[in-house]
Structure 1
């Protein structure tokens, strides 16, 4: 069967929060099977534990924030994408502030450290959510849908009304190596004209050219330029992987997004959870572990969970 995984050893990160501007340290610890991903606000007395689930999302403006009992953890999407990319089902995350560090604006630092910490296979099987019927959400010119697929896929169409940002489309068939090498390094981005407005509204206080791609009137102002010609849409897919991880299960389905963001990603996850007639949970009778979600369904024996 495909078994759940956790990290093998503790690993810590320290950095600045993109929006809060606060220095924060987080520590990932191993967790038992069935725990899921849980954030613990250790700076509060008593500490508050917040499960990384769609039901606990309290804000989706420019990032994804979860909260419980008045405590929040913001900008979790890059770390969640890294955990998903490394095949981690269960982990405790101690954090001494309200926002996950932004690091360099990508998921690479998180993935590299998690891989260095190692993974441990647990005794409980992993359940997969398999999409059976399409689900679509449309808001104006924004759209996101999920349709049945033998793989986990994300197709993203990105378009901004800005001369320096061309329309971009990218298609990901998810597996750890592809995500790690081609999507995790893609950095968050923003427009120079919006920076002062964001800071006036208490956002982007920790933003800099060291942790974000900044776009001016004539193009990218970062001295090193872009890591990929289509880095913007790659980062949109990275964000989508992190937001979709709040579904609570690895899943088989093809997500198609057009001008989507954290808010629409979250609404799709909530709609999937509500529409129980559109999916089923399955367990695989294979000896594969974390790589099983990249294999085509017909090549695996499965049964309803």
Structure 2
């Protein structure tokens, strides 16, 4: 399986050592410290608010806000919020890390350069080790689709094992316009084609966002800013279709909240964090739409498990 972690090596994975960084939150503008720590097999990805002493599992059913980012909260402690989790989640999924504790001393993951590349760099610096448990794999069995105001996202079964994705966007700004990208999301493809794609915004929206208490930490150092046909960042774009690639990066991060790598095909048009989360909720709500092939994954507050020895063969 050529998904986030190939099936012939599909063991759970964690970091060799702890590693951290300090940055600002894109929306809060506040300084925040993030430390990625190793975790035991079966832990999953856990965000730990060190300032509150509260753990929040990185799961689709903990998502509480999708305005311009994906934010999760603790089930019984709504004050324990962690915003902008999608880029670090994409980096963990893209490098095959299944178990880690992410310690954070504030309410938002640092934005760094606006992409997943700095988080991939941190993971590479820390190193990773395989654990003696199978990594969870969810196979999509039938089509699940969510639509809203001309936008849609869907998951479909795939003829081959792995995770494939196709995404298109359409913006009125001529610097962005219509773009599309499709790929088989392997670890190598993630690193080469998605990790360094940065978040972006329109110049005319910046004042509105800040008036609404958002984008307080935004700058040309951590986001692409577009004004009509112009890209205002002095260095320009990292690639001509960086916009749609960043949107697909968000998809990878948001779908990582399934708690397992997906074996199937994603197709979307004008997707966003809200639709990505609704897609996972719709899939898990229909038990006939998916099956757990390996490992275990928490669903609806309980743990669904399928031992490797009893797992059915992939179609």
How far is 1:275 from its partner? 1.1
Indicate the residue corresponding to 1:238 in structure 2: 249
Where do 4+ consecutive residues of structure 1 move more than 4 Å?
none
Structure 2 unmatched ranges of 5 or more = 1-7, 296-308
8 Å contact kept, 1:11–1:27: yes
* CA distance in structure 2 between the aligned counterparts of 1:165 and 1:77, rounded to whole angstroms: 22
Which residue, out of 4, 9, 12, partners 2:17? 9
Q: How does 1:169-184 map to 2 (within 5 A)?
A: 169-184=180-195
8 Å contact kept, 2:173–2:229: no
Indicate the residue corresponding to 1:271 in structure 2: 282
8 Å contact kept, 2:255–2:276: yes
8 Å contact kept, 2:173–2:227: no
* CA distance in structure 1 between the aligned counterparts of 2:294 and 2:258, rounded to whole angstroms: 17
- Give the secondary structure class of the aligned counterpart of 1:120: strand
Structural RMSD (CA): 1.5
Indicate the residue corresponding to 2:155 in structure 1: 146
* CA distance in structure 1 between the aligned counterparts of 2:187 and 2:11, rounded to whole angstroms: 16
Moved more, 193-202 or 176-185: 176-185
Indicate the residue corresponding to 1:209 in structure 2: 220
**TM-score, normalising length from structure 1?**
0.91
- Give the secondary structure class of the aligned counterpart of 2:210: helix
The yes-or-no answer on 1:64 pairing with 2:70 is yes
* CA distance in structure 2 between the aligned counterparts of 1:6 and 1:164, rounded to whole angstroms: 40
* CA distance in structure 2 between the aligned counterparts of 1:304 and 1:272, rounded to whole angstroms: 20
* CA distance in structure 2 between the aligned counterparts of 1:206 and 1:191, rounded to whole angstroms: 15
How far is 1:112 from its partner? 1.1
* CA distance in structure 1 between the aligned counterparts of 2:112 and 2:26, rounded to whole angstroms: 9
> What does the per-residue CA deviation read over 1:132-168, in whole Å, with 9 as the maximum and x for residues that have no partner?
1111111120111111112201100100122332200
How far is 1:302 from its partner? 8.6
**TM-score, normalising length from structure 2?**
0.89
* CA distance in structure 1 between the aligned counterparts of 2:70 and 2:180, rounded to whole angstroms: 23
Structure 1 unmatched ranges of 5 or more = 285-300
How far is 1:126 from its partner? 1.4
